[in-house]
Amino acid sequence: MLAQLSKGESNVSDLAKPFLNDMSLPAITKHIKVLERAGLVTKTKDAQWRPCKLNGDGLKEAGDWIDEYRIFWEASFDRLEAYLKTVTTENDQKGKKHGRKNKKQ
């Protein structure tokens, strides 16, 4: 839905079309309400038409939040990689010391 809205304003019915085979209209409407509460989408009322559009400020805020976690997880994975290299090296050295050969799969 966000990708579709990135192309411009759209009404709820048009947003729902690609998902109607997999989701009910009430579920789609609920999803749009979640996007609204998250500040990613704004929806207005114009007679029977319910135009929706992206909220750039909300998307930037979400992107900044995600970026903080990306930095955290990249650092965590870097530390895990360094640790695993030391453990693997230690195990290789212990195996050589005791005359064991490493089996490659």
For the chain, which residues make up each domain, given as ranges? 2-54, 56-99
Mean pLDDT in order along the chain per 10 residues (105 residues): 91 90 91 93 80 90 91 94 88 70 54
Helix or strand run (H / E) with residue 15: helix 12-16
Token pair in block for residue 67: 């970026």
CATH class of residue range 2-54: mainly alpha
What's the pLDDT at 13? 87
Q: At a CB cut-off of 8 Å and minimum separation 6, what does 49 contact? A: 11
What's the pLDDT at 99? 63
Q: How far apart are CA 34 and CA 39, in angstroms?
A: 9
Report whether 2 contacts 54 (CB < 8 A): yes
Instruction: Please count the other Cβ atoms lying within 10 Å of the Cβ belonging to residue 35.
Output: 21
Can you give the pTM of this predicted structure? Answer: 0.59
What's the pLDDT at 49? 77
